[in-house]
Amino acid sequence: NEKEVTCIGCGIAIQTENKEGIGYAPPSSLEKEQVICQRCFRLKHYNEVQDVALTDDDFLKILNGLGKVDALIVKIVDIVDFNGSFLHGLHRFVGNNPVLLIGNKSDILPKSLNPNKLINWMKQEAKELGLKPVDVLLSSAEKGHHIQEALAAIELHRKGRDVYIVGCTNVGKSTFINRIIKEVTGEGDVITTSHFPGTTLDMIEIPLDDGQAIIDTPGIINRDQMAHVVNKKDLKYVMARKEMKPVIFQLNEEQTLFAGGLARFDYLKGGRKSFTCYFSNDLEIHRTKLEKADDLYERHLGDLLSPPRIEDLESFPELVRHEFSIKDEKMDVVFSGLGWITVNQPGVKIAAYAPKGVSVLVRKSLI
Ligand code: GDP
């Protein structure tokens, strides 16, 4: 057995097999005297944080570590995928540490959505999921909106302690951290360390003026996210990049909408009614008759109804049907991580379909 090579930046064991994994360095780098992992390399040279894939074991190590420190926990979620990116169960591990909840990607919300209403909804939803955050904020890491506000809230709630940033992959955690690095250090040097003693998790520290630090924990993969069921090249269809533009449909009973091949919405009963779709503007919505829907999906998944791509059909999960009666309020039918359809007039029965593992839920309309 060869001696274990470790990264001079973060101390992690170097591996050369899995490019997306922790501690990756290209094989050629092993010939050098000092080896640096790809993640530290990028950080050092570009001040840029990169995602690494985590195993469930690593995830547990992070969670257990969070309970042992005295710190402010900043939990970032994707507001379009609140439930899918929530990291259920985190609150059981954080001990008495306060949690600041940030809903990222606010820039893609339709302008007609009132931010305060959304924040209230997030508070309520978090409470139902067992978390009582000290505060709830929105941000757009990509556009740099509300970053100062987030930093002010962090400063207020950390009370001189360290800050741990946690989040599921794809919520924009790296983008957020990169923004913070610029704000806090003015592009200065960032130190990397392995923070929890006895673990090999690479964490990134952004030093603060009082000797404390903001610590970025690795992104946690939730395999049930919509983003994981499509080809990486097709992410723009799943994750909106720009403000979602509402598309209104007047539907008769027994009509079906397909959002690409990723979601299906059957309007079953309730007379002629209006429905508003909020998805990535790149994703095409197709309307058809309910009686033709199964056949259309079978024949045209991968071409007319895409994503997925033809070449990915084999690994694409089957759609699972969820039926809902919407009785007396305007409601949103949410396809986790993809978008939602607002049922504008109650008194209807519908069925919503999403790939197996991806959740569908109904909430009071936010608009
Ligand atoms: P991470 O896996 O949580 O570290 O997420 P990344 O920072 O890599 O971001 C995932 C994707 O979301 C990337 O395509 C980003 O460009 C995009 N993204 C991140 N923050 C925002 C945001 O505030 N708004 C929008 N529209 N996209 C964002």
pLDDT at 301: 97
- The CATH number that applies at residue 170 is 3.40.50.300
Give the count of domains, the chain. 3
For residues 138 and 97, state if they share a domain.
Answer: yes
Closest CA to 147 of 184, 120, 116, 119: 184
pLDDT at 45: 67
pLDDT at 50: 55
Rounded Cα–Cα distance for residues 227 and 188 (Å): 33
Tens of pLDDT along 100-110?
999 999 999 99
Length of the chain: 367
For residues 275 and 345, state if they share a domain.
Answer: yes
The residue whose C-alpha atom lies closest to atom 19 belonging to ligand 1 is 172
Q: Where are the alpha helices (DSSP H) in the chain?
A: 38-46, 56-68, 90-93, 115-128, 147-158, 173-185, 235-238, 290-300
Checking if the pLDDT of 46 tops 70, the result is: no
Checking if the pLDDT of 293 tops 90, the result is: yes
Q: What's the token pair of residue 359?
A: 């959740």
Checking if the pLDDT of 189 tops 60, the result is: no
For residues 358 and 237, state if they share a domain.
Answer: yes
The boundaries of the domain holding residue 17 are: 1-46
Tens of pLDDT along 235-285?
889 988 899 999 999 999 999 999 999 999 999 999 999 999 999 999 999
For residues 206 and 242, state if they share a domain.
Answer: no
**Model confidence band, residue 93 (pLDDT cutoffs 50, 70, 90):** confident
As a whole number, the mean pLDDT across the chain is 87
Which atom of ligand 1 approaches the CA of 167 most closely? 3
**Model confidence band, residue 40 (pLDDT cutoffs 50, 70, 90):** confident
For residues 208 and 175, state if they share a domain.
Answer: yes
For residues 29 and 162, state if they share a domain.
Answer: no
Residue 51 falls inside a structural domain = no
Q: What number is the ipTM of this complex?
A: 0.99
Closest CA to 273 of 246, 249, 247, 245: 249
Residue 69 to residues 117, 161, 168, 192, 352: CA-CA distances in angstroms? 33, 10, 20, 18, 43
For residues 210 and 311, state if they share a domain.
Answer: no
Q: For residues 110 and 246, is the Cβ–Cβ distance under 8 A?
A: yes
For residues 160 and 285, state if they share a domain.
Answer: no
For 41-45, 85-89, 229-233, 259-263, which range has the lowest pLDDT when averaged over its residues? 41-45
Work out the percent of the chain whose per-residue pLDDT is above 90: 55
Ligand 1 surroundings by CB, under 6 angstroms: 51, 104-105, 107-108, 140-142, 167, 169-175, 219, 239, 241
- Output the pTM of the full model: 0.82
pLDDT at 53: 52
pLDDT at 7: 80
Q: Distance, CA 101 to ligand 1 centroid (Å)?
A: 16
Helix axes of 147-158 and 173-185: crossing angle, nearest 10 degrees: 80
The residue whose C-alpha atom lies closest to atom 6 belonging to ligand 1 is 172
Rounded Cα–Cα distance for residues 217 and 322 (Å): 35
For residues 121 and 199, state if they share a domain.
Answer: yes
| 265 class by beta-carbon count within 10 Å (0-12 exposed, 13-18 middle, 19+ buried) | buried
pLDDT at 197: 41
Q: For residues 133 and 119, is the Cβ–Cβ distance under 8 A?
A: no
For residues 98 and 167, state if they share a domain.
Answer: yes
For residues 217 and 89, state if they share a domain.
Answer: yes
End-to-end CA distance of the chain: 61
Backbone angles phi, psi at 248, to 5 degrees: -100, 135
Residue 122 to residues 87, 151, 202: CA-CA distances in angstroms? 14, 20, 30
Rounded Cα–Cα distance for residues 77 and 223 (Å): 15
